[in-house]
Amino acid sequence: MAATISTAKRRQLGRPVSIVGAGLSRFGAFRDMTTRDLFVEAFQDLIDHMDQGIDVEDIECGYIGNYSSDLFEGQGHTAPILADWLGMTPTPITRIENACASSGSALREGIMAIASGMYDVVLVGGVEKMTDLPTEGVTDVLASAADGLYEVPAGLTFPGIYGALAKAHMDRYETSLAHLAKVGIKNHTNGALNPKAQFNTTLLDMMERRKARAEQQGQPVPDWRDEMDFLNDPRANPWIAWPLRLYDCAPITDGASCVLLVSSEIANNFTDKPVHVVGTGQASGRPLHDAEELTSLSAAREAAAQAYAMAGVTPRDIQVAEVHDCFTIAEIIATEDLGFFEPGEGPRAVDEGRTALTGDRPINTSGGLKAKGHPVGASGVAQVIETFHQLRGEAGPRQVPNTNLELGLTHNVGGTGGTCVVNILRRG
């Protein structure tokens, strides 16, 4: 049942924490930029959009999510380098690594730093520069987040891992290739409304451009009638790891994200529209080879239970959510693990349009990892930024059409489900 959410001990923050500012770099492939360039861009975006300004010297501490600048760029000890480039030395800044949940975990550290009373103003962010390596190199780096003793030697890559999850979901719940395709169509539709997204275009527009290019080059023009025709054509959408195709996979992305956390008692010094952290949970799960089942991630269920208990809410109270759709099947599984839908009902919810921007449970309004992009170390905080803007009513053309929007949730997964961080945010 959807209450696969466990009975978690109700933990509470020592004092309330609020988000008062957010900054995001462009997401995409930027050959001429480094990790430090990307993070400076995100930080400058935060500074430029603070409602009442911020003096950099007032920031007391920082946590930066980064999966592997060591392997992607050959640069370790990233945090103090970023501190120097931001003009923040000698402020302590620490790098947090938890695979694709690195910045989600960094956010948790920032929340606890303020809740403990040690700091009042904390910068939290994430960054990844992935495109310096060829695709096979990126695949190898990401595979290091899987179990190197049992999974990697067996030849499992992340497309292969999530392909296995998709096949298991298909076998148990009659999930189809069409359901996966519809998730991709939805998220590209949302991403087309996001100026920071790597793919800020719809799949329909991509299809039409491919047809126009073929005609201009004097080649046979494909007879695709709609996005489903396009996605079902193996020439346009080749198999990556059955049953996943190219457009089921999040892209390789460069990007950075950051938010400013403060003690809620001083939030009004920075903005009249703070967003409060009312629930947070983090859990660890077994590697895929040792998991109890393949149609659910135990860490996600446990982290969600912790966050719901802290916030004193239930899944039905959540009005908008950003979930970790590194692959289209991951979004479907997430919506079930979070208790939004009963196990096996996630695909039906996609069919019914319930997860669309105008549905009753909007999911990945930013375009998700699938269209917005997935610079792995930055993704968790980027999810929080989208939710921050949605709750403040400033998401522009992708704003959820709900004038009573109050509660949002983020779900950030690392590795083969070994880490999951869930946060619940409330409009101030």
Residue ranges of domains in the chain? 17-133+252-269
The helix (H) or strand (E) run that includes residue 408 is: strand 407-414
In the predicted model, what is the mean pLDDT of residues 21-26? 98
In whole angstroms, what is the distance from residue 384 CA to residue 394 CA? 14
Radius of gyration of the chain (CA): 20
Residue 178, token pair as written in the block = 């069409």
The helix (H) or strand (E) run that includes residue 185 is: helix 177-191
3-state secondary structure of 87: coil
378 and 128 Cβ atoms separated by less than 8 Å: yes
CB-based burial label for 37 (10 Å; 0-12, 13-18, 19+): middle
In the predicted model, what is the mean pLDDT of residues 30-50? 97
Residue indicated by tokens 């179990």:
147
Residue 428, pLDDT score? 86
**Band of residue 6 on the pLDDT scale cut at 50, 70, 90:** low
**Band of residue 1 on the pLDDT scale cut at 50, 70, 90:** very low
Q: What one-character-per-residue DSSP string does 232-245 give?
A: T-TTTS-EEETTEE
376 and 130 Cβ atoms separated by less than 8 Å: yes
Cα dihedral 132, 138, 140, 144 in deg (nearest 10): 100
In whole angstroms, what is the distance from residue 77 CA to residue 419 CA? 22
Nearest to 163 by CA among 329, 406, 355: 329
3-state secondary structure of 270: coil
**Helices and strands, number each (H, E), in the chain:** 14, 11
Residue 7, pLDDT score? 53
Q: How do residues 250-306 score in pLDDT, each as one tens digit?
A: 999 999 999 999 999 999 999 999 999 999 999 999 988 888 899 999 999 999 999
3-state secondary structure of 187: helix
Q: What are phi and psi of 367, to 5 degrees?
A: 105, -10
243 preceded by cis ω (within 30°)?
Answer: yes
CA distance readout (Å), 187 to 57, 87, 238, 335: 39, 37, 19, 14
Angle between helices 203-216 and 177-191 (to 10 degrees): 90
In whole angstroms, what is the distance from residue 282 CA to residue 104 CA? 9
Query: Would you say residue 395 has pLDDT above 90?
Result: yes
In whole angstroms, what is the distance from residue 85 CA to residue 88 CA? 8
Residue indicated by tokens 């007032």:
58
Query: Would you say residue 3 has pLDDT above 70?
Result: no
Residue 5, pLDDT score? 53
What's the 3-state SS for 190-212?
Answer: HHCCCCCCCCCCCHHHHHHHHHH
In whole angstroms, what is the distance from residue 351 CA to residue 298 CA? 25
Beta-ladder partners of 100 = 98
Query: Would you say residue 110 has pLDDT above 90?
Result: yes
**Residues with catalytic annotation?**
100, 374
Q: How do residues 116-156 score in pLDDT, each as one tens digit?
A: 999 999 999 999 999 999 999 999 999 999 899 888 888 88
Q: What are phi and psi of 249, to 5 degrees?
A: -110, 140
What is the CATH number that goes with domain 17-133+252-269? 3.40.47.10
Contacts of 202 (CB under 8 A, 6+ apart): 185, 188, 189, 192, 227
Residue 424, token pair as written in the block = 């619940």
Rounded to two decimals, the pTM is 0.96
Beta-ladder partners of 280 = 423
In whole angstroms, what is the distance from residue 397 CA to residue 176 CA? 31
If you ran DSSP here, which 8-state letter would residue 294 be given? Answer: S
